[in-house]
Amino acid sequence: MTTVTNSRTDRREVMRRIRPRRSPAVPLILLSWTGAAAVVTLWWQNTPNVVGNAEWLVGGGRLTGLLSGYSIALVVLLMARVPALERRVGSDRVARWHAMSGRYTLCLILAHIALIIWGYSAQAQTSVVDQTVTVVTEYPDMIKAVVGTGLLLLIGLISAGVVRRRMPYEAWYYLHLLTYAGVFLAFWHQLTAGAEFVADEMARIGWYALYGSVTAAMVWYRVLVPVGLNLRHRMRVLAVVPEAPGMVSVVIGGRNLDRLGAEPGQFFRWRFLAPGLRWGSHPYSLSAPPQEERLRITVKAVGGHSTALATLEPGTRVWAEGPYGAMTTGRRSRSKVLMIAGGAGITPLRALFETLPGRGSDITLLYRARSMEDLALWDELQRIAEERGARLLYAVNGPDGARPEITPERLRSVLPDIDRHDVFLCGPPGLTEHAYAALREAGVPDRRIHHESFEM
């Protein structure tokens, strides 16, 4: 627990500790666009004077092919769970970048196929069907490219919102891993059939370096780092504790767990090696600060996996990846903080409520639930509030089921200086969307509303 007095020295120390870390989002976006500009430059340098529609079509096909190859590398990099991205940009934001770049990549791939076949067909004065057969059967590595492209298009189809919502998470997850096979199969024709690489050795070396770096990051962060983490810490379930209707805490033991580098507000992806659970890896936040030999997560039953956690037996082995997430004290930029939680969203905010540096009177937690019985971890929250001198508020439905809405007026009545607060927001989508709108109307700038979602 962190309690700071009111001396001038202590206040300076608090402000030093809550100075927000710079997000690498803007530099990374600029770096990505710089890479795209380099790809366009490569195409330009290898493109002679273009005469006639056929050459324009072929030139467009080459350019979209290069850009799709480059964007595929970015898509895979965003799947690598690189700590600089996951912990500082935010896992939810990285997931949105991955989904968006995947859609753009598929559009570029389809444009590449259409333009190159159409252009070659016009040059050879043959039908599109005949030219397609010629390209597939006679050009080097094209059979592999066709299979790889088919896999990438399949992944794009099952990742569409309408399809994905109808699929079990585990089925979607394991089918999504076919992305790696698709990328591998599609890679080789870029070097053997791409005019830019056939004639330019430095371009080939650069392309190998791009894909080699992405592959190295993927293997390191998705395979080797998790293996090392779990071999070192050897985690097992210690206990399962009911907290509220449909909500349990899972206490996890292990060796030197305080050395994981986890911060309050972060989460791990957990795989419990029990029947029916070992094939699923799901994100759950820490609901208490890490201790030397134990961690705790608190989970609300909203699906098959989360419901089954209530049946875990002590001694069950646990496989974890992380820590991930950017909703930590590093986001804070003001001495005063409001936290708004709902449902399972209380778990990361409970950990932050205990550990945020500063005067307790500057910290306020508002907990939204259906009833008093649904206020999970309430006794702990009351103890923390009493020890820190922090403010703990709740909003539950009335006896008639009436919902107390979070409005700008109510926020201002509770915190007249709400516009001078940082806000940490975590809960179901409906609550977070409504609270976000109320906070903005109450004068809280967007940059000081911190929220993170596991939804993609």
**Residues 321/309, Cβ–Cβ less than 8 Å:** no
User: What is the rounded CA–CA span in Å between residue 147 and residue 289?
Assistant: 48
**Residues 420/336, Cβ–Cβ less than 8 Å:** yes
Q: Is there a cis peptide before residue 428, judged by omega within 30 degrees of 0?
A: no
- What pLDDT score was predicted for residue 165? 80
- What pLDDT score was predicted for residue 8? 45
**Which helix (H) or strand (E) element contains residue 9?**
helix 8-18
The vertex-355 CA angle with 354 and 356, nearest 5°, equals 110
DSSP assigned state of 342: E
> Where in the chain are the domains?
18-229, 234-324, 331-451
The count of other CB atoms within 10 Å of the CB of residue 210 is: 17
Higher pLDDT, 92 or 106: 106
Q: Is the pLDDT of residue 12 over 80?
A: no
Predicted confidence (pLDDT) per residue in 109-151, tens digit = 999 999 999 999 999 999 999 999 999 999 999 999 999 999 9
Question: pTM of the prediction?
Answer: 0.82
The vertex-79 CA angle with 231 and 154, nearest 5°, equals 120
Q: Is the pLDDT of residue 14 over 50?
A: no
User: What is the rounded CA–CA span in Å between residue 349 and residue 353?
Assistant: 6
Please name the amino acid found at residue 24: P
Angle formed by the axes of helices 52-77 and 25-45, nearest 10°: 150
| Beta-bridge partners for 247 | 244, 300
CATH topology of domain 331-451: Rossmann fold (3.40.50)
| Mean of per-residue pLDDT scores for the chain | 88
- What pLDDT score was predicted for residue 454? 56
Predicted confidence (pLDDT) per residue in 372-419, tens digit = 988 999 999 999 999 999 999 998 988 877 888 889 999 999 999 999
Higher pLDDT, 107 or 87: 107
The count of other CB atoms within 10 Å of the CB of residue 23 is: 16
**Which helix (H) or strand (E) element contains residue 395?**
strand 391-396
Predicted confidence (pLDDT) per residue in 258-308, tens digit = 899 899 999 999 999 999 888 888 999 999 999 989 999 999 988 888 899
CATH architecture of 234-324: Beta Barrel (2.40)
Higher pLDDT, 317 or 403: 317
Residues 6+ apart with CB under 8 A from 43: 59, 62, 63, 66, 196
- What pLDDT score was predicted for residue 10? 45
